[in-house]
Amino acid sequence: MYAITMYDAFLAEHQLSPSYIESAQQWFNPIINDLIKHTNSATPLFVSINGSQGSGKTTLASYLQYTLIHKHNKRVVVMSIDDFYYDQQTRLQLSNSVHPLLKTRGVPGTHNLKLWQSIMNALTLGQHCRIPKFNKAADNPYPQEQWQAITGKVDIVIIEGWCMQIPPQLDEMLTPAVNQLEQLQDPDLVWRRFVNHALGEYQTLFQRFHYQIMLKAPSFSVVHAWRLEQEQKLAQRSIDIADHALGIMNEKQIADFIAHYQRLTEHALQVLPPLCDIVFALDMQRQIKSVQRNQVSFITQQALPLIFTDLDGTLMDHYNYSSTAAYQALNYCHELEIPIIPTTSKTFAELLVIRQQLNLDGPFIVENGAAVYIPKHITLSLKGRCEDKGNYWCYSLAPKRAKWLAIVDQLNTEFHGEFTHFEAMTTLALTAATGLTFPAAKLAKQREYGEPILWLGSSERREVFITRATELGASPISGGRFIHITGESDKATAMKWLLAQYQRHFVGKEFLSIALGDGPNDISMLEQADFACQVRSPTHPFPPLQRALNAPTYQTKLDGPAGWNEYITTYILKITEEIQHG
């Protein structure tokens, strides 16, 4: 009886029946035990709760806080991501400068990230801060004097929100439209791209959380009914009649409102469960059906992994250049902060676009190892050792393109009509030869170091051509589609140089190289990496490798990005799931 009595105030505040406590103790007390074990450090434990609108995440956060305070004497702060919404005026400015849909609060890009980060920093350091509070009825923040003041050390910080921990989509996943709102009001994808890019910026904050909880709705279709119930509770609690008249939504307004959330809610239901520590599967009445506990870690804790990956035919599909099939593994790597380093024949200009599409922000290796680019936000102490190229440091391992074009001119005399090359091809011709879009083909032509050759002659003459190019001073590399006329640099040399920079900067830490590729131009990298994966190609057999007998080597059963996903999730990451049904 004591347990129910202790929760009387809690039940009254949230308009709940006593049966809620019995269910909460069954399902949620194991979370409390987890949190108690990890609250003895000098800094607070950060906990995130994800759930669609009306799923019960606010009630869960309040239950955890109430129990941790009254039963375990912990100092707990609860916040909602909703409380960091921009005010109406700021959203109006966004709607005028970017897209009209940004006038509506809710989606990534409508939160004050700077304020959120400053609050998290203050809580981490035990400094005084005020927790913002948003008035949904008035659609504006409350005055600052009404914000909760926090002073001193906090044990646990719980932040709940509908988009907490959701990873951004790949650019190719932004089509087709998921509802009429997107179809009619965002036909050019301006709003979708802005929101997705903004969500990428949230990831830095998401990575600061130690424990991640998800309340998983059965589908997006139930969200309307849940949100309607939530709005009715808001109306009952609203004391200010003027605010009530202005801000409380009717049923149709709710349907229009939640359409803004549909894409990312459905995305979260699909991809987020494996990335959370604990997932509660809900039925249509928001009762818990089952709980799933997840644990994802790297195969070894003794060294930190760096993943060096080819793109065409490996992380990107050979025919349509899609990476969707590798999305699960990409998210795991982001979650564990494992660097994914594109190591490719593609150009710097191409990589700027592709990295954004894949949500990558780390180093990359271009033109078959001719150069390594390192973003300046990565602190590897490279000033004076590399060429300064704006936002990047560049370390070149090969001579510039002019030298190789001169050799190609000599080869053209002897092999005239048997090949063409990027410099001689129009963008339209390159599009036809590669399947690239016209804009992507224009980027592919912006080469700095080597020159790709499209061979048109016989296979016998192809070997003669490669021999002759070597005699003229080139080091030809055969890729999935082209012969690359370049210097003695290769992917392995670039990989080892970058690995050495990590080793030199992070003294006392060990790093492992993991290489994935499908073509002959990947052989050197695959042979010298600590772990090697040959990704199956739909167009050619696995190139032969010469690795030590005890060196870990894997050949995927699936093609391209599906094979990439297969290897990372099966052999590089340790993924465990424990499911308990109610």
Confidence of residue 550 (pLDDT cuts 50, 70, 90): confident
How many other CB atoms are there within 10 angstroms of residue 458's CB atom? Answer: 10
Cβ-based burial of 179 (10 A; exposed 0-12, middle 13-18, buried ≥19)? middle
Cite the residue boundaries of each domain of the chain with CATH code 3.40.50.1000: 304-397+493-575
Residue 549 has pLDDT above 90, yes or no: no
Percentage with pLDDT > 90 across the chain: 79
Query: Which residues, 6 or more positions from 39, have their beta carbon under 8 angstroms from its beta carbon?
Result: 45, 74, 155, 156
Say if residues 482 and 453 touch (Cβ distance below 8 Å). Answer: yes
The region of weakest confidence among 30-39, 169-178, 521-530 is 30-39
Cite the residue boundaries of each domain of the chain with CATH code 3.40.50.300: 29-168+198-294
Q: Collapsing DSSP states into helix, strand and coil, what is residue 449?
A: coil
Percentage with pLDDT > 70 across the chain: 95
What amino acid occupies position 402? A
Q: Degrees (nearest 5) of the Cα angle 109, 111, 113?
A: 95
Residue 246 has pLDDT above 60, yes or no: no
Mean pLDDT, residues 159-172: 96
The pLDDT score that the predictor gives to residue 382 is: 84
Alpha helices by DSSP H, listed for 344-490, are 348-357, 401-414, 427-434, 438-444, 459-471
Looking at residue 111, what DSSP letter applies?
Answer: B
Active site residues: 310
CA 317 to chain centroid, in Å, comes to 19
**Separation CA 516–CA 531 (nearest Å):** 9
The pLDDT score that the predictor gives to residue 237 is: 59
The pLDDT score that the predictor gives to residue 241 is: 43
Helices and strands in the chain: count of H runs, count of E runs = 22, 24
Mean pLDDT, residues 141-154: 96
Mean pLDDT, residues 484-490: 91
The pLDDT score that the predictor gives to residue 2 is: 44
SS (H, E, C) 520-581: HHHHHHHHHCCEEEEEECCCCCCCCCCCCCCCCEEEEEEEHHHHHHHHHHHHHEEEEEEEEE
Looking at residue 481, what DSSP letter applies?
Answer: S
The pLDDT score that the predictor gives to residue 13 is: 87
Q: Which two tokens stand for residue 3?
A: 């347990």
pTM comes to 0.82
Query: Which residues, 6 or more positions from 74, have their beta carbon under 8 angstroms from its beta carbon?
Result: 36, 39, 68, 155, 156
**Superfamily for 29-168+198-294?**
P-loop containing nucleotide triphosphate hydrolases (3.40.50.300)
Average model confidence (pLDDT) for the chain? 92
Confidence of residue 247 (pLDDT cuts 50, 70, 90): low
**Superfamily for 401-485?**
Putative mannosyl-3-phosphoglycerate phosphatase; domain 2 (3.30.980.20)
Cite the residue boundaries of each domain of the chain with CATH code 3.30.980.20: 401-485
Looking at residue 312, what DSSP letter applies?
Answer: B
Assign domain 304-397+493-575 one CATH number from 3.40.1030.10, 3.40.50.1000, 3.40.1350.10, 3.40.50.720: 3.40.50.1000
**Separation CA 132–CA 2 (nearest Å):** 34
Residue 242 has pLDDT above 70, yes or no: no
Confidence of residue 85 (pLDDT cuts 50, 70, 90): very high
Mean pLDDT, residues 331-335: 92
The pLDDT score that the predictor gives to residue 119 is: 97
Residue 4 has pLDDT above 60, yes or no: no
Alpha helices by DSSP H, listed for 71-221, are 88-97, 113-125, 180-185, 190-206
**Separation CA 175–CA 191 (nearest Å):** 12
The region of weakest confidence among 155-159, 241-245, 253-257 is 241-245
* Residue written as token pair 């005239």: 416
Mean pLDDT, residues 216-243: 73
Cα–Cα distance list, 504 to 189, 365, 510, 532 (Å)? 43, 19, 10, 23
* Spatial CA neighbour of 311 closest among 300, 326, 301, 296: 326
Q: Collapsing DSSP states into helix, strand and coil, what is residue 414?
A: helix
Cβ-based burial of 468 (10 A; exposed 0-12, middle 13-18, buried ≥19)? middle
The pLDDT score that the predictor gives to residue 244 is: 45
Residue 248 has pLDDT above 80, yes or no: no
Residues 467-476: tens digit of each pLDDT: 999 999 999 9
Residues 357-415: tens digit of each pLDDT: 999 999 999 999 999 999 999 988 787 889 999 999 999 999 999 999 999 999 999 99
What does the chain come to in residues?
582
Mean pLDDT, residues 222-242: 68
Cβ-based burial of 513 (10 A; exposed 0-12, middle 13-18, buried ≥19)? buried
Confidence of residue 234 (pLDDT cuts 50, 70, 90): low
**Separation CA 553–CA 575 (nearest Å):** 20
What amino acid occupies position 183? Q
Report the half-sphere exposure of 5 (CA within 13 A, side-chain side): 2
Residues 97-141: tens digit of each pLDDT: 999 999 999 999 999 999 999 999 999 999 999 999 999 889 999
* Spatial CA neighbour of 476 closest among 468, 484, 488: 484
Q: Collapsing DSSP states into helix, strand and coil, what is residue 339?
A: coil
Say if residues 368 and 486 touch (Cβ distance below 8 Å). Answer: yes
